[in-house]
Each structure stands twice: as structure tokens, then as C-alpha cells.
Copies of this chain bind each other. A is one copy, B any other.
């Protein structure tokens, strides 16, 4: 027996059981399964990681920080989805937003609830502005077009996911979304010189 601690690589170090990404993934999975943000408690997230609630505080500052992390995750998913699928960029952005909302209905409303000041949000915004300019929108107008179009898409997807249109069927919602995309297209076209 050289040591009572097998994991002792250096002096008094402990094996890292979890990290920030694991915490956020567990929280997101929990929210998705429950379909309800109230289920995401520090205890529940910790339990899913086979750890105590107190252990989380090494990796997230507090619960608000954890929720901000979830928002970052969703923004990242929208960013990676925005360049896939078919149709023009606007159609793809709309589809990406809607798809992420459906995948994470409990967390999605947070996107409209906290300032979009996180790194991932800034990156997505920059990317969208670039795409708008590439499609002929005046550089001076592009940021405003991005703000308004993103607000349109976010508001609609949130409504869909919180059940604001609960008694309407999928076909009606799809038709509504087409009307919304037409309106967004109008905003983009008005930004063209």
C-alpha cells in the first residue's frame, strides 16, 4: 500500500466527478424530460449526476448562472442549425428556431426573458447580420433587421411552446408561421437599398 487514495495524482487532488458542461447537460435533459422548468432544481440536477447539490456550486455560480448556461446551449443549437436545411436563409432561421423550441419547450421561453448578452448570442447575431448583408441588405440597416426578425421568430416559437395557441391544430400553426415568415421577409426587403 503506497497510498490510501488511488486517485492521488498530485498532493490532495480529487478526481473531477463533474464539470460545467455535465451540469448543463444534466439540467437540460431534466427540463426536456419533465417539460417543465420547475423540475430543474439544484437537488434534481445533482441527483442525476450522482452528486450532492452543493457540488454544483464549484461549476456554476448560482442557479441564475445555470439557467444562463441553458440559454447558451439553445442559442448554440440554433446557430448550428441555421445553416442546414433547404430554402433561403430566412426560412432556415425560422425552421431552426422552431425546431429548437420544440426540442426544448421548457427552456426555450428563457431566450426572450434574459438579455442576449452572452457570447453565443453575440456570435449568432453577428452571423445573422453577415448573412443579411450577403443577401443584399444595407450594412447600416442589417442590425435593426436582425433585431426585428429575431424578435418575430422568438415570439412565435415561444407562443407555440407555451401553449398560447393551444386549441389550434398543427396545420393552423404552420399557416400562421408562413404568414409570420412573409412579414419577416418584408422587414428584410425594406432593408435593401
Contact = CB atoms under 8 A, between A and B. Distances in A.
Interface of A: 109, 112-117, 144-145, 147-148, 151-152, 154-156, 158-159, 162-167, 172, 175-176, 179-180, 182-184, 186-187, 190
Copies assembled: 2
A159 B113 CA distance: 7
Contact of A147 (B116, B176, B183): B176
A115 B186 contact: no
Contacts of A159: 112, 151, 154-155
A113 B112 CA distance: 10
Contacts of A152: 151-152, 155, 180, 183
Contact of A148 (B112, B145, B180): B180
Contact of A112 (B115, B147, B164): B164
Identify the 6 closest CB pairs spanning chains A and B, nearest first.
A155-B155, A183-B183, A115-B163, A186-B186, A115-B166, A151-B155
